[in-house]
A and B are shown apart, each in its own frame.
Chain A
């Protein structure tokens, strides 16, 4: 294992969706073609065994990044490298199965991501069969293979805190938190190195969320998993991540080590997000009220897309789009920070 190079490297990743009206409307009503730049030039890397969290509000493109990484979308531009291999090409070639085995995804809604007609044994066992991970057929009987499959499923269920007997049940017999554990067991079936978790706990109650987050941390420690963790909840992000990337309208505006980001947020948007979190302990922390709303991504503002909501915006921010620069150990895309104005 080469410990020096990051497991996942993303360079200038972009995804544009065509949301144009149908051809006839364009011709008759003279409507133009329209594109949404869901992800626009995002670059980051994740070290082995670490967790990178992406945060942002609805529509900032964080889920699109997740889907691009596992190959559910093809990028419009840019590259994803996984352990040195470029995934876009590899996923089209014969090596796709081997690559998919190494990265798996956990989805947000545990009610929609499990087939209601399948038993848990089939749900968790499917990736094992698909990737040929059930004991090889060299001279063994079908019965032995079935027994091996059953044992593996039981072990997976045990690793996420469910009972082996649960394998014979259907998803509707479980609560939301238990279903999310089944999703995790399914994702772990192929012994992946990299898990993409798209809001894995946002559909869950807090006490159940704590159970799922604890399981995810335990698994990371035991199996050395690498996570990309997508969330809109900064408190959860603070709990699970090593590095945090803040996204706004398809771009990364700040990328920093967790401790640094929460102690000294640089970008005005990051500061605003931190200020917006309700203060449970009522410490009397001073908070600036948040201004404005996320603009329409179809027609984003010029220059820095955050400038209409930013208290530090000047003429340069309205005209020129800031690049993600390395400033005092963190990466931040802001003219005001670069010029030392804030």
Chain B
């Protein structure tokens, strides 16, 4: 196996508050290979966006990385000073955020923002930078790129703006792109366009992607592997096909069953009772046990780590080696 491009080891993110320290991410480990698309899926509050923010070094204070490490291309990046991280962000790790209107500066033309990004990270002249900017806009499928480069973000529609944001993320040819819910604010028909664009461009540019989303459909369409997050931890991680067709963790089973299917009729959807716990009240043992239909004694007291389960890895005692031996 080739060396991982991004390696996250035992990452723990905390938010100190007046009353207590909230642990938002706990013991999160995964890696992304060069050119791979890893999906990170979960419900609101599972910590998926926070994982992305920790990687690009944009955790909002008072949030902080309390333990663990993040390695990019073999080099530790979680403890870099702000300026050093700024050089990596954009140059080596690009970012795409959910709302394309707030991630573009409304006062600058699209071209100026692209040229600025290109010149910040690459040693090219103004003319060359502009030429590259036009080429990027063309690649992202913006019609009449030569004219539209001098327009302002408000003159673009939502889908077109997200294309500009993708162009910006790709501007300095990064090796990794962290895309946080890139299609959530868009209509389905536009979402399909943006997803296929993102997939094609990353392949052409050889960029790996960490795609954060709550939409299992988008994951299925796009990713090679997927990590399912629950209450700040990874519940299951594995190849997309296996996670979707034979999920090993009861939470993944519930999540898949609660999505209305397009090809079968069911009178009722499978539902997971209850809701994701709040950070102030994470249950003991496995955080999912109060909602889990298969919970047993061990789940209440002991926290499971990721373990091999069928074709994937799941953090669930059902897949413990001694359980299997007993069965």
Contact = CB atoms under 8 A, between A and B. Distances in A.
Given A205-B43, A289-B193, A294 B187 contact: yes
Given A211-B273, A283-B263, A293 B159 contact: yes
Contacts of A293: 157, 159-160, 189-190
B260 A207 contact: no
Interface stretch (A82-90, A125-133, A269-277): A269-277
Nearest to B268: A214
A197 to B, nearest CB: 15
Nearest to A278: B217
B244 interface: yes
B196 A277 contact: no
Contact of B187 (A57, A217, A239, A280): A57
Residue with the highest number of chain B CB atoms closer than 10 Å, among A205, A206, A293: A206
Given A235-B261, A235-B262, A236-B260, A211 B217 contact: no
Nearest to B185: A58
A262 interface: yes
A80 B261 CA distance: 33
B243 to A, nearest CB: 11
Contacts of A268: none
A75 B218 CA distance: 38
A150 interface: no
Contacts of A262: 262
Contacts of B66: none
Interface stretch (B77-85, B97-105, B251-259, B301-309): B251-259
Interface string A226-247: 0000001111101100000000
Residue with the highest number of chain A CB atoms closer than 10 Å, among B187, B193, B254: B187
A39 B174 CA distance: 46
A214 B271 contact: yes
A95 interface: no
Given A280-B220, A282-B244, A207 B196 contact: no
A46 B245 CA distance: 38
A211 B190 CA distance: 28
Interface string A296-338: 0000000000000000000000000000000000000000000
A272 B190 CA distance: 11
B190 A207 contact: no
Interface in B10-53: 43-44
Contacts of A211: 271-273
B89 interface: no
B270 interface: yes
Interface residues of A, number: 40
Contact of B188 (A178, A210, A276): A276
B192 interface: yes
A205 B213 CA distance: 11
Contacts of A278: 191-192, 195, 215, 217-218, 220-221
A285 B190 CA distance: 19
Interface string A32-62: 0000000000000000000000000110000
Contacts of A290: 189-190, 192-193
Contacts of A57: 187-189
Residue with the highest number of chain A CB atoms closer than 10 Å, among B188, B244, B245, B259: B188
Nearest to B273: A211
B266 interface: yes
A206 B192 contact: no
Given A272-B189, A278-B195, A213 B269 contact: yes
B216 interface: yes
Contacts of A234: 188, 262
Nearest to A213: B269
A196 B263 CA distance: 27
B275 A178 contact: yes
Nearest to B191: A276
Given A57-B187, A276-B192, A207 B262 contact: no
B259 to A, nearest CB: 5
A91 interface: no
A175 B291 CA distance: 15
B271 A281 contact: no
Contact of A276 (B189, B257, B260, B272): B189
Contacts of A177: 275
A159 interface: no
Contacts of B268: 214, 217
B83 to A, nearest CB: 38
Nearest to A283: B263
B228 to A, nearest CB: 12
Given A207-B43, A276-B192, A289-B196, A282 B220 contact: yes
Contacts of B191: 276, 278
B159 A238 contact: no
Contacts of A213: 260, 269
Given A206-B214, A232-B187, A277-B217, 13 more contacts: A206-B43, A206-B216, A206-B259, A210-B258, A210-B270, A233-B188, A236-B260, A238-B262, A280-B262, A281-B220, A289-B193, A290-B190, A294-B187
Interface of A: 57-58, 175-178, 205-211, 213-214, 217, 232-236, 238-239, 262, 272-273, 275-283, 287, 289-290, 293-294
9 contacts: A205-B276, A239-B269, A275-B192, A276-B192, A277-B217, A277-B262, A281-B245, A290-B190, A293-B160
**What are the 10 tightest A-B residue pairs by CB atom distance, in nearest-first order?**
A278-B217, A210-B258, A205-B43, A239-B260, A210-B269, A57-B187, A276-B192, A235-B260, A290-B189, A210-B271
